[in-house]
Amino acid sequence: MSDDLDDLKAMMAAATPQPDAARRAENIALSEKNFDDLQGSRDDTRLTSERPRGGVFSGVRHMFDQLTSRAGLTASTALIAVGIVAFTPLGQDLLRPGDLTEALTETRFEQRAPTPEAPVMIEQTDAGQLSGQIAVEEAAPTESLADMAAPTTRTTPSIAPAAQLRSRKQVAQDGIAMGGLTAEPPMPQVLPDTETFANADASPVQVVADSPVSTFSIDVDTASYAVIRNSLTQGKIPPREAVRIEEMVNYFTYDYAAPADGNAFQPTVSVTQTPWNAHTQLVQIGLQGAVPAVADRPPLNLVFLIDTSGSMDSANKLPLLKQSFRLMLAQLRPEDEVSIVTYAGSAGQVLAPTAAGERSTILAALNNLGAGGSTAGQAGLQQAYATAAAMSKEGEVSRVILATDGDFNVGLSDPEALKDFIADKRDTGTYLSVLGFGRGNLDDATMQALAQNGNGTASYIDTLSEAQKVLVDQLTGALFPIANDVKIQVEFNPAAVSEYRLIGYETRALRREDFNNDKVDAGDIGAGHQVTALYEVTPVGSPARLNDPLRYADQDTAKSGSDELAFLRLRYKAPGEDTSQLIETPIVASDASDAGFAAAMAGFGQLLRDSDYTGTWSYGDAIALANATKGADPYGYRAEAVQLMRLAESLSRK
Amino acid sequence: MLMQTSDENLGLAAAGGDRSAFSTLLERQYDRLFRLCFRLTGSQAEAEDLTQDICAALPAKLKNYRGDAALTTWLYRVAVNAAHDRRRRQASHAKAAEGWGDWEVNRQAANAQAAQDVDWLTTAMRRLPPDLRDTLALVLDDVSHRAAGEILGVSEGTISWRISEAKKQLAQIRADEMACPVTSEESS
């Protein structure tokens, strides 16, 4: 025949048969089934954590997972006894341990054919207790048992009972084959819940005569509200320390006056009747940040620093993160640049800086992220900052967006050093925002610390709609600071106010002298951000006064005759500047108007924290007030808050 | 072809867990995959089995598809690797089967007989060294030399060399057969 390639081609085409239709359908069905298994069993595969080979110990482990320690001891004794029998010369001949083990491994391998390799996994039993979850430590088959790593991932068990039975049987046989090699049974160990929250005791009531000045840094985070929502919708009253009232109040926007042209923000002060106490008043201080023309915003350099450690592998973490970033990507302009750095075990750049216009490249990189390994947070941060530094040009805004479930444990030798590192980078103009995902080991305290040191916000993403709010609706505000280090100081007039109490902001308290110290860091306001702070004040002469006046104190220094309740001072720095500017405005007593939605949220937060100050005021009252003050509520956020109050009411009744 | 989602996008969606994307992709690529498997193995039964192997492992493999190569290129690479694995398994199996007695020997002989039914080209291709066969299989499937190099992990020049080498060897096989018309199993 001719050796011409075209002829060969034609011959080949003629020789090639049609695929057998039945086999074709069969193979496609098989493939689809494997696909479904892979999707459906993502958790399961992780759960069983059987690497196809070398699973002799893992089976034993699995069995012990299912046993109480007493049963485990009984079983292990029995296994060792059987092992002795098995290793007598007669038994050895009968059992031929090598072949048996190999045969079993082979069967198992086929059964679980297309499972991806899974890292060391932990199974969460349903018998989880209130304060902690029981998990059993597991070690990869190759690791020595003494070397068991702390578990990093939890998944809910859903193995088919048959499979479980089968593997137990297999395990027993494996155990026989292994004979006396059976290791000591791993003892069940109660793992504490590793969630930590940043909070402090509620600010106490202050006597104006003793300490007339209250100083704090603003806080535009809203993470706490999302955590609370997540807890309540799961049917649990959130832990008290998870409730940061200022973040609940700041989750919502209020009707504040917009700043005049050229001003970064505009304070609005109002005095309302306290809903939970007839004899006190609420002073509501609202700051409205200016909204710069979005059209002329400078190009953005975003470095997504994504935690892909094993603990991120559940539906409400990495998959939600991907969806969230996809939403966000649509908001970016073609001239913006995006880069992705992941950290898990080791840090690595997954996507080199890419113009936001190349959506498909970015999406492909995002889609291909998979979870596995432990968390090398510090290395990840360093690489992300290095990437951001390489991307930044004059006039552009650079920001690292850290997405994590808060597991920042590996490579973090010194939390303070990490904070300092972030603070250093902040001074070079690269900011940091933190997005929290998932529950279980949410390290809220670290997230807060990182974001506060990085001039960014910490948000908690529990649903796609929260992602919509944080990453789409508030994108501009979250990414473009308009004022840095915003501090608020309120001096109360002892002639008008006898006592006051700051609601929330416990973690943001500043010392009085720090107000004028420009070196002391404070919160930042982004474009269009709103900040609301509430004081509960007791007017002079009110029966609500908690502290008796001092007999010997000089009461005459107060500026009586003035209608000023207090004097508000604000300090802020324009972005990139080192010296602060001062805004001063008196807070004038007026006829207290009705309490608004902010008061309802503040009350709700105090109820969740079991505050001493709310008296007989109940969730029912909070619901009534919130409903009455809901207003237009175009996105339904406030209606959702009412739902949460109702849930909390039901949950608190038991 | 109007408004058809590209293979790459389907692949990425499927890698992300989209079942319908996976089904569409598989429907679209199955025949092509089978065709290649046939060329790689030279027998319909083998090709069906190889295709089955690939189909079974495809969902897990697809998770690693990153969209950096054309999907067909990627798929061909998977197929070629699967064919290699299969050959290796068969080789070790054949080795293990030696000395297993008449039953296995007869079975292997029956297999070999079945393979003879396939026409001259595929038979001849089976006699080529594996790397030449893989290369020829790809290039006969309208894969460019560059893409074939990408799939096999060699340079474009190597592919061109292999093709000319394969053609030379085919011609040689042909010439041998003309000289000695009885198809002999032992010529290689």
**Which whole number is the average pLDDT over A388-400?**
81
A interface mutation test: which of B49, B51, B55 has the most A CBs within 10 A? B55
Tens of pLDDT along B27-51? 888 888 888 888 888 778 888 888 8
In angstroms, the separation between the Cα of residue A15 and the nearest Cα of chain B is 7
Interface A-B, measured as beta-carbon pairs within 8 A, has a size of: 122
More confident residue, A70 or B43: B43
State the pLDDT at residue A619. Answer: 92
Q: Which of A259, A351, A261, A367 lies closest to A305, judged by CA?
A: A351
As a whole number of angstroms, the distance between CA A438 and CA A314 comes to 8
Q: Helix or strand or coil: residue A7?
A: helix
State the pLDDT at residue A92. Answer: 55
Which residues of B are less than 8 Å from A364 in CB distance?
A: 12, 66-68
H, E, C per residue of A327-338: HHHCCCCCCCEE
State the pLDDT at residue A502. Answer: 92
Q: Which of B139, B128, B50 lies closest to A12, judged by CA?
A: B139
Q: Do B39 and A12 touch (CB under 8 A)?
A: yes
Tens of pLDDT along A542-585? 887 777 777 666 555 555 566 788 899 999 888 778 888 898 88
The residue extents of the domains of chain B are 2-97, 109-187
Domain with CATH 3.40.50.410 in chain A: 296-460
In this structure, are strands A530-539 and A281-289 parallel, antiparallel, or unpaired? antiparallel
State the pLDDT at residue A117. Answer: 42
As a whole number of angstroms, the distance between CA A320 and CA A405 comes to 12
Q: Helix or strand or coil: residue A311?
A: helix
Q: Helix or strand or coil: residue A82?
A: helix
Note whether B56 contacts A: Cβ–Cβ < 8 A: yes
As a whole number of angstroms, the distance between CA A385 and CA A341 comes to 10
| Residue percentage of chain A with pLDDT more than 90 | 8
State the pLDDT at residue A143. Answer: 39
Q: Which of A559, A553, A555 lies closest to A493, judged by CA?
A: A559
Tens of pLDDT along A75-127? 555 655 555 555 555 555 555 544 444 444 444 444 444 444 444 343 443 43
Q: Output the CA torsion A321→A325→A328→A332 (10° steps).
A: 160
Class of A206-292+482-546+558-651 in CATH:
mainly beta
pLDDT grade, residue B94 (50/70/90)? low
Tens of pLDDT along A144-194? 333 443 443 344 444 444 444 444 444 444 434 443 344 444 444 444 455
State the pLDDT at residue A104. Answer: 42
User: Contact, A602 vs A576, CB < 8 A?
Assistant: no
pLDDT value at B140 more than 70: yes
State the pLDDT at residue A166. Answer: 41
Tens of pLDDT along A28-55? 888 888 888 776 544 433 333 344 444 4
Query: Amino acid identity of A339?
Result: S
CA angle A169, A170, A174 (to 5 degrees): 125
In angstroms, the separation between the Cα of residue A623 and the nearest Cα of chain B is 41
Q: Which of A260, A255, A282 lies closest to A270, judged by CA?
A: A282
Domain with CATH 2.60.40.1230 in chain A: 206-292+482-546+558-651
More confident residue, A179 or A403: A403
As a whole number of angstroms, the distance between CA A48 and CA A50 comes to 5
pLDDT grade, residue A534 (50/70/90)? very high
**Which whole number is the average pLDDT over A236-246?**
88
Q: Which of A108, A106, A111, A124 lies closest to A46, judged by CA?
A: A124
Question: CATH code for A296-460?
Answer: 3.40.50.410
Q: Hey, what are A355's tokens?
A: 């113009």
Q: Give the closest of A16, A31, A364 to B67, CB-based.
A: A364
Note whether B117 contacts A: Cβ–Cβ < 8 A: no
State the pLDDT at residue B167. Answer: 83
Tens of pLDDT along A422-435? 778 777 778 888 88
State the pLDDT at residue A600. Answer: 92
pLDDT value at A289 more than 50: yes
pLDDT value at A356 more than 80: yes
What angle, rounded to 10 degrees, do the helices at B120-127 and B102-116 form? 130
In this predicted structure, which of A50-64, A547-561, B7-21 has the lowest mean pLDDT? A50-64
Note whether A39 contacts B: Cβ–Cβ < 8 A: yes
- The fold of the B109-187 domain, in CATH, is Arc Repressor Mutant, subunit A (1.10.10)
Which residue bears the tokens 């943001």? A508
Tens of pLDDT along A456-477? 778 888 888 888 888 877 777 6
State the pLDDT at residue A605. Answer: 93
State the pLDDT at residue A42. Answer: 46
State the pLDDT at residue A608. Answer: 92
Question: CATH code for B2-97?
Answer: 1.10.1740.10
Note whether A30 contacts B: Cβ–Cβ < 8 A: yes
State the pLDDT at residue B80. Answer: 87
Q: Output the CA torsion B169→B172→B178→B182 (10° steps).
A: -60
pLDDT value at A379 more than 80: no
| Residue percentage of chain A with pLDDT more than 70 | 67
Q: Helix or strand or coil: residue A348?
A: strand
Q: Do A116 and B60 touch (CB under 8 A)?
A: yes
Q: Helix or strand or coil: residue A592?
A: coil
As a whole number of angstroms, the distance between CA A282 and CA A59 comes to 63
